[in-house]
């Protein structure tokens, strides 16, 4: 979804400041992994690492594009396939995720009217075995929320259970909604609120399902996923980008990838350490390579409660830098937005 002007301006200003203050190749924090060079991709709003094709990341445009999903090679930044979803006229595509069955899930879940549309949709299709421009058949799921319409930009498929979760977006905080155990292409799939979350623009589960990362315009946080619910673990280092929209884990689970809207947008890689690492990674040997995009040389909350805090918060050096400054600018942006609303009223 297009950012309001004050928020976008704040992000852009901070992105410039970040670029001047932090070396691009810093090993201790985020660094640029690749740049999306396709001129058709101007509003990259979601990101998902391919399961079949090492070094490839799936993305899509926002509401200004058609029924397209793009496969981008992180080694070159070039699009290697554009997939057209047959028979789909998307309204506001905001998220993409890959399920344990290898299917791609595309979330047409945005609501530019702030919760006025009674239902939204999820589209599902097999990840193509061969990367080339093609048209695919999709399964379409109708989604409603238990407490009425919501605006949302984050949709995540849990890698162990295949269950779909959606995080709503609201300046006063959103909610994490859980879908049914299995989505049905017939009738309505009701998503129920299970936890409170901040203003979320995207989210992703780790490959083993033990971690959940949620991001917003100025922050990124990691949660330990246990008992079917998120438990706050730590804040993560987040790069400053013009419009902070996408996030996913690298296939090895050792880093988080952050994407942004905009032409020739950069995708950043932020390494994880200590308790930030997914459970399966912490018990395995270190990765022998440092591929820029995470592949070799390829570039106890109860239902309805808030996301619980976890006392273990390793990776102190990987916390959000300049949090006070980011919060100040964020509040300024929101204040300007509210003032603009009052003037319009």
Task: List, for residues 260-280, the tens digit of each pLDDT value.
Answer: 888 999 999 999 999 999 999
Kindly tell me if the per-residue pLDDT of 289 is higher than 60: no
pLDDT of residue 22: 39
CA–CA gap between residue 342 and residue 345 (Å, rounded): 5
CA–CA gap between residue 139 and residue 331 (Å, rounded): 41
Closest CA to 131 of 86, 79, 93: 79
Distances (CA, A) of 255 to 34, 157, 318, 335: 14, 18, 11, 34
Model-level pTM greater than 0.85? Answer: no
10 Å Cβ neighbour count for 338? 12
Contacts of 296 (CB under 8 A, 6+ apart): 54, 289
* DSSP label of 318: G
Kindly tell me if the per-residue pLDDT of 210 is higher than 50: yes
CA–CA gap between residue 91 and residue 295 (Å, rounded): 34
335: phi then psi, degrees, rounded to nearest 5: -65, -45
Distances (CA, A) of 286 to 21, 66, 298: 30, 41, 17
244 vs 227, higher pLDDT: 227
pLDDT of residue 260: 87
164 pLDDT tier (thresholds 50, 70, 90):
very high
User: How many residues are there in the chain?
Assistant: 345
Give percent of the chain with pLDDT exceeding 90: 63
**181-186 contact pairs (CB < 8 A, 24+):** 183/122, 183/124, 183/141, 184/141, 185/139, 185/140, 185/141
Give percent of the chain with pLDDT exceeding 70: 73
343: phi then psi, degrees, rounded to nearest 5: -65, -40
* DSSP label of 208: T
**Looking at residues 57-75, what average pLDDT do you find?**
94
Kindly tell me if the per-residue pLDDT of 78 is higher than 80: yes
pLDDT of residue 241: 67
Helices 5-21 & 323-344, crossing angle to 10 degrees? 160
Pairing of strands 164-168, 139-145: unpaired
CA–CA gap between residue 82 and residue 71 (Å, rounded): 6
**Looking at residues 216-236, what average pLDDT do you find?**
95
pLDDT of residue 2: 47
CA–CA gap between residue 9 and residue 124 (Å, rounded): 35
Each residue of 100-113: pLDDT tens digit? Answer: 999 999 999 998 78
pLDDT of residue 67: 97
């Amino acid at each position: 979804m297009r950012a309001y002007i004050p928020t976008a301006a704040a992000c852009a200003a901070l992105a410039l400041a970040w670029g001047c203050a932090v070396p691009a190749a810093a090993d201790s924090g985020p660094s640029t992994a690749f740049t999306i060079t396709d001129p058709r991709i101007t509003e990259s709003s979601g990101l998902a690492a391919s399961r079949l094709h090492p070094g490839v990341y799936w993305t899509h445009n926002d509401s200004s594009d058609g029924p397209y999903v793009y496969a981008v090679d992180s080694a070159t930044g070039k699009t290697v396939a554009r997939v057209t979803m047959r028979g789909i006229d998307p309204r506001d595509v905001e998220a993409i995720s890959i399920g344990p069955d290898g299917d791609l899930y595309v979330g047409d879940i945005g609501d530019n009217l702030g919760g006025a549309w009674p239902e939204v949709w999820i589209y599902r299709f097999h990840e193509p075995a061969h990367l080339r421009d093609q048209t695919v058949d999709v399964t379409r799921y109708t989604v409603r929320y238990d407490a009425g319409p919501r605006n949302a930009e984050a949709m995540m498929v849990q890698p162990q259970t295949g269950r779909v979760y959606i995080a709503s977006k609201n300046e006063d905080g959103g909610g994490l909604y859980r879908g049914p155990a299995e989505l049905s292409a017939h009738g309505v799939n009701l998503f129920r609120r299970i936890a409170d979350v901040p203003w979320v623009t995207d989210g992703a589960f780790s490959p083993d399902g033990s971690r959940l990362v949620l991001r917003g315009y100025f922050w990124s946080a990691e949660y330990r996923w246990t008992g079917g619910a998120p438990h706050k673990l730590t804040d993560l280092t987040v790069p400053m980008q013009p419009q902070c929209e996408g996030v996913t884990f690298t296939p090895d689970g050792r880093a988080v990838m952050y994407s942004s809207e905009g032409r020739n947008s950069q995708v950043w890689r932020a390494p994880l350490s200590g308790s930030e690492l997914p459970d399966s990674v912490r018990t395995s040997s270190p990765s022998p390579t440092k591929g820029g995009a995470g592949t070799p040389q390829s570039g106890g909350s109860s239902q309805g409660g808030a996301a619980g805090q976890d006392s273990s918060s390793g990776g102190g050096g990987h916390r959000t830098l300049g949090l006070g400054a980011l919060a100040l600018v964020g509040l300024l942006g929101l204040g300007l937005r509210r003032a603009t609303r009052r003037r319009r009223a």
